[in-house]
Amino acid sequence: MKLLVFAGSLRKASLNRKLAKHIARAAEAEGCEVIYLDLNDYPLPVYNGDIEDQGMPENVHRLQELMRNADGFLISTPEYNGAVPAVVKNTLDWMSRKQKNGDSGGQLFQAKVAGICSASPGALGGLRALLLLRDQLAKLGMWVAPTQFALSKASEQFHDDDSLKSDHHERILAVIRSVMSFHKSHQ
């Protein structure tokens, strides 16, 4: 199974980038082929139909190609003001646009699976963002794994080398295994 793993944060010291890297390593250990995606490597303007009409930004097509070749996503998102960060929404909005070959970008999401996680310094661990992300991905046609993971008090949960202090590994594996199970049953 080939998975795109990314964090919904652009900040270098982001808690969700740390969590996404842990998730990527765990998915690889479970036998998945993982592409860790740093959204900083694919900068996109805020979605605007006028930009699209003038010609699609090249990074849209680069990301769409990665999506086309992946079986699913593992996303670690922060929670900003009780919602999904703009970078996550904007990336998904651009991905849903017309592909280079003229096909709908929406086709890239169909029959694929997503596992969602979050990390937040707060007591809920980004849980409110997960509810909104789950809904958004489902509306795009993805199956979202029912198992999710929210890391509360995340600023206290990582060692200096960015590894997790507490043993949340089993809960993260549950998300990954749920994603793998869906993929296996829909091949």
- Is pLDDT above 90 for 135? yes
Q: Tell me, what's the pLDDT at 116? A: 98
> Which two structure tokens, joined as six digits, stand for 99?
């592909």
- Is pLDDT above 90 for 167? no
Q: How large is the average pLDDT for residues 46-50?
A: 95
Q: How large is the average pLDDT for residues 135-140?
A: 96
Which pTM does this prediction carry?
A: 0.95
Q: How large is the average pLDDT for residues 78-92?
A: 96
> Which two structure tokens, joined as six digits, stand for 5?
């793993």
- Is pLDDT above 80 for 81? yes
Q: How large is the average pLDDT for residues 57-71?
A: 97
- Is pLDDT above 90 for 5? yes
Query: Is 145 within 8 Å of 99 (Cβ atoms)?
Result: no
- Is pLDDT above 80 for 21? yes
Q: Tell me, what's the pLDDT at 115? A: 98
What class has domain 2-185?
alpha beta
